[in-house]
Structure 1
Amino acid sequence: MINTIEWLAAIFVGLVALNIFVAVVLRKFFNTSIPDAYDFGRMFLGILIFWGIAATSYRGGHITVDLVWTAAGPRMKRVIDVFATLVLLFVVAVQTTMLFDKVRGTWADNVQTYDLNIPTWPFYAVAWFGDVCAVLLIAIRTYRLVFQPELLQEARPEQKADE
């Protein structure tokens, strides 16, 4: 499941890059543009952000500043990890609720793209589903941090440096 989420995030990175590349080439060399390129770009970027959150949340591979964590003992490190993951779970769960409201609002208001009049709510729904996956993965990570910490014992960069 985690690998699938990471692959989906990677696909959305590719879609964002492809949209930008094709739009620039068409504008520069052919004096034309992709209809709704801006709308597609911003919606794909939104999708990418939420799927990226899902991809990094389980592994804890996001950027962190862990000066206190590094100085703490093993027991305190675990307490900090559990607390931080619970805070992240709460924030992402609230974000998911608000994003669902956005999906419902764009659907109810029949918001469409400018050029092609494509409904935008499916794009928001895909982003929301990425956020739902993030909540599920963070909940799994929290459970494992509390009850099965040995399952999350991936080597951290500072651990590799000590070896």
Structure 2
Amino acid sequence: MTVSSDASPNGPGPVRRSTSLMDRFIDTIELIAAAFVGIVALNTFVAIVMRKFFAVTIPDYYDFGRLLLGILIFWGIAATSYRGSHITVDLVWANVTPRHQRWIDIFATLVLLFVVTVQTITLFDKVRTTYQDNVLTYDLRLPNWPFFAVAWIGDVSAVLLIAIRTWRLIFHPEEIHDPKTKTAE
């Protein structure tokens, strides 16, 4: 990890800029998830404009939208899992000592790792059966399995990011980028 001597926008002190391979991997996963948000929005926008102003329906736009939304969900799980920015209930967490908060975080992250790992295994089975059954889109008769495979890669990314979060929570808690922890102003 590299520490810059630039002043923080919140006051004096160094700004930490991480350049580790893990942090670049995490940032890449988040960028891919953001790209899928844009692709889903673009698909919807273009379909609506074409239908409304030109009376033209894009073939398979509904199937593409449905499949891309599935991809977005699994890549979104990957993006939110590491940062801890998903929906949480912090009633107990907020009322215990920092040491106990860390243990709660470790336990919760291990449970999440288990659940998402099982989900990833079952999603791979869905990719396999979709490929074997030759499931196709309605209009263009394109195979669905590549969309399922991209969603599965997002789920694998979620498992990796949750594993990284677990590792850091246990061995390097100072490297966690957690929105729950605030810096003193």
Scaled by the length of structure 1, the TM-score of the pair is 0.94
The Cα shift of 1:143 comes to 1.2
Unaligned runs of 5+ in 1: none
Q: What residue is the counterpart of 1:26 in the other structure?
A: 50
CA 1:155 to 1:86, structure 2 compared with 1: closer, same or farther past 3 Å?
Answer: closer
User: For the Cα contact (< 8 Å) 2:29–2:79, is it kept in 1?
Assistant: yes
- The count of residues paired between Structure 1 and Structure 2 equals 161
More helix by share: 1
User: In the aligned structure 2, how far is the partner of 1:156 from the partner of 1:95?
Assistant: 25
User: In the aligned structure 1, how far is the partner of 2:54 from the partner of 2:123?
Assistant: 38
The Cα shift of 1:22 comes to 0.8
CA 1:33 to 1:99, structure 2 compared with 1: closer, same or farther past 3 Å?
Answer: same
Query: After TM superposition, where is structure 1 displaced by more than 6 Å over at least 4 residues in a row?
Result: none
The Cα shift of 1:28 comes to 1.1
| Aligned residue type for 1:34 | I
Unaligned runs of 5+ in 2: 1-24
Scaled by the length of structure 2, the TM-score of the pair is 0.83
Q: What residue is the counterpart of 1:101 in the other structure?
A: 125
The Cα shift of 1:151 comes to 1.3
Matched, 1:92 2:116: yes
1:13-162 counterparts in 2 under 5 A? 13-152=37-176, 154=177, 156=179, 159-160=182-183
Larger Rg, first or second structure (1 or 2): 2
CA 1:155 to 1:95, structure 2 compared with 1: closer, same or farther past 3 Å?
Answer: closer
| Aligned residue type for 2:179 | R
Higher relative contact order (CA 8 A, sep 6+): 1
More strand by share: 2
User: In the aligned structure 1, how far is the partner of 2:40 from the partner of 2:182?
Assistant: 35
Q: Which moved more, 1:121-130 or 1:62-71?
A: 62-71
Task: Please give the root-mean-square deviation of Cα atoms over the aligned residues, in Å.
Answer: 1.3
SS at match of 2:69: helix
User: In the aligned structure 2, how far is the partner of 1:155 from the partner of 1:132?
Assistant: 21
User: In the aligned structure 2, how far is the partner of 1:113 from the partner of 1:156?
Assistant: 40
User: For the Cα contact (< 8 Å) 2:74–2:151, is it kept in 1?
Assistant: yes
| Aligned residue type for 1:84 | A
Q: What residue is the counterpart of 1:11 in the other structure?
A: 35
